[in-house]
Structures are given as structure tokens and as C-alpha cells.
Amino acid sequence: MRIHFPPRVGPGGRLPVLNGIKGAALVLVLLYHSGGVLGWPNLLHGEVGVDIFLLVTGFLLVWRARTQPVGAFLRRRFFRIYPTYWFALTLFLLLHHHYFGEEDSLGNILFHAFGLHGFGPPAYFSAINDSFWFISILVLAYGLFLALRRWLDRGGTMLVVCSVLTAGFALAYQAAGNSGGVVELANRVPTVFLGFLAGAIATEGCEFKADWTLAALPLTLSALYYTRGFLVFYPLTAVGWVLLYLSFDRVAAALAPLRWLRAGLSFLGAYSYEIYLLHQPVIRDYNRLFLHNWLQAEPTTAELGAGIVVGLAVVIPASVLLHRLIERGAQALRPIRPGNQGL
């Protein structure tokens, strides 16, 4: 059985709706992190916004880079990810040292600099900035894509590889006592593969055989859930949110009152990577620090909420500026085609 949905545009084309999807994902993440500061119950499970980013990333890798030479692929990914990340990493290393007296080991800094801290000692996983573990799964996604892109149309093979890697990461992190690795990274491996498969289906099609390979992933996830308490809802929830947004996008395109919301989400999506990297310490750590120093008392929930609004009012334009500066620098160093870029 070969599944193939004819694409609206050819490989390497533009899909403006993806920025809207990333914008919606960012809103979920912002609500999740804001709720953590304000003590709100996590009813929406906004952390699934990360999975939506990964779905889009996997899809776009297949859509845009399936036949791209390795050197060109690595250069493009480097300029998209590392300059912005290094800016944020350096910024928070300096700020945390100045305001909180934090001293990070050379090993921790080096692992972070390469984006490999998610695969290092457990103490490195959430150090410096809680959100930086995301860089490690991006590095993993790029490596998997390069290794597997010749077999993306073999759905059964991809499901088996996904099952082996998911189980391997989950068990390795649990054995190392790295709960963050289990919850944040191992749980997201299936999401990356779902993005790959979605991209394959939307371009050249994807073949699935009615054999044991179709059972590999659901049985692996079920076994990990029953025996290890492994979470299984993230990838499916992300798919649900993406489908919901696609339905909203069609309605919003036809209804003038909703177009402003659609445009706003697309704007946020265009700068979602920068906002993601910068926002959490600002709305949490430095929000509390500033308010406590200013008020000389523990801030109330309302005051923290106001601080979050102010923090985002600073982070969003700063993210736009950072994105444009780095994009100009990258264009000066190599010719790139501007357009809708995924994480």
C-alpha cells in the first residue's frame, strides 16, 4: 500500500500556512511557561507546542532538503540554528553569572556550545536555560534525516527504526537517572519521524506493507508505557493540533474578523525560534528578580503576570531584530533563498 497526497506546491516550494502552525505552537509553549510562573494548572499541556515544531521541522526537511547535497544542507542548518543559539547561550551565561553568581563548568559550556548537552551528563540537560535541550533534538533530527533520507518512502522501515531509537533513548536515559531526557527528548523521537513520514507522503509518497513493521511503533510505545511509564500522547496530540490549525486557517482565510489572528500567528511563527530561545528566563527568572528588587517584596500573581507581558514585549521585537541581523549576515556569507524556514 502506497500513500500519496499530491502536494499543492512542488518540493522546495513555499507553504505559508506553516508559519501559522509554528505561531500556534509558540503560543502553546508561552502559555505553558507562563502558567508555570503564575501557578496555573497545565490543562492545555502547552509543552506539546515543541512537538508541533518538530513535526514542521521533519516535514520541511523532507520537503526542502531531500536531494540537497550534504555540504549545502549542513551549511544551511548551521546558519539557521547556531548563530542565534550561540547568542542566546552567551547572553544567559553572562546574565546568570552576573545576577545569580552561577558558575558553569567548561564541560557543560562545551557540550552546550555544540548542542550536545541533551546527550551528555544528566546535570547538563536542563542547565543554563531549560529550553536549550531543544537544540539537542534538532541536532538529532538533522543527523537522522541525513542518515535515513534515502529510505524515507519506506514507511515500515522508518517505523521500525523509530521504535528502536525511541526504546533505546528511553531506556538509556532512565538507566542514567536522567528524567528530563526521558520526558523531553526520548518522548519526542516519534514526533520527528512523524514529520519525516508526513513530508514523504506529501511529496513522493510513502509505502507501507501489511506486515509486522506496522505494529512495531504502537507496540513499542505501549510496552514502554506499561513497563516504564513512558508518555505516549505528545506525537498524537501534536498531530491533532496541526489538523485543528489547518481547519482554522481555511476558515480564517474566508472570514475577515479572523484574518488578524491568522496574520498574528504567522508573524509569531516567522520568529518562533528566536522567541523560544530567549523568552523563558526573561519571563520567569528575571521577571521575579526585577519585581523583587523593585518592590522589595515577593511579587503577587498579578504583578508576575504584568512582568510576563512586559518581558514578552521586550523579547518579541528583540527576536525580530536578531533574526534579521543573522539572516543578513548569513546572506552576506553565502547565497540563500529567503522564505519560510522550519526549525
Q: What pLDDT is stored for residue 340 in this prediction?
A: 43
Q: What pLDDT is stored for residue 10 in this prediction?
A: 56
pLDDT digits (tens, 9 = 90+) for 272-295: 999 999 999 999 999 999 999 999
pLDDT digits (tens, 9 = 90+) for 115-145: 999 999 999 999 999 999 999 999 999 999 9
Model confidence, pTM: 0.91
Cβ pair 279, 54 in contact under 8 A: no
pLDDT bracket for residue 1 (50, 70, 90): low
Dihedral of the CA atoms 65, 70, 76, 80 (nearest 10)? 90
DSSP H helices, the chain, are 17-38, 48-65, 70-100, 106-113, 133-148, 155-175, 179-180, 189-202, 213-228, 233-254, 256-270, 272-283, 285-295, 301-333
Q: What pLDDT is stored for residue 35 in this prediction?
A: 96
Q: What is the mean pLDDT of residues 27-53?
A: 95
Q: What is the DSSP letter of 207?
A: E
DSSP-derived 3-state class of residue 271? coil
Question: Average pLDDT of the chain?
Answer: 91
Nearest to 50 by CA among 225, 308, 272: 272
Nearest to 127 by CA among 99, 89, 94, 101: 89
Q: What pLDDT is stored for residue 5 in this prediction?
A: 57
Q: What is the mean pLDDT of residues 203-211?
A: 87
pLDDT digits (tens, 9 = 90+) for 246-267: 999 999 988 888 999 999 999 9
Nine-digit cell string for 142 = 538533522
Distance CA 280, CA 283 (A): 5
Q: What pLDDT is stored for residue 194 in this prediction?
A: 95
pLDDT digits (tens, 9 = 90+) for 73-117: 999 999 999 999 999 999 999 999 999 999 999 999 999 999 999
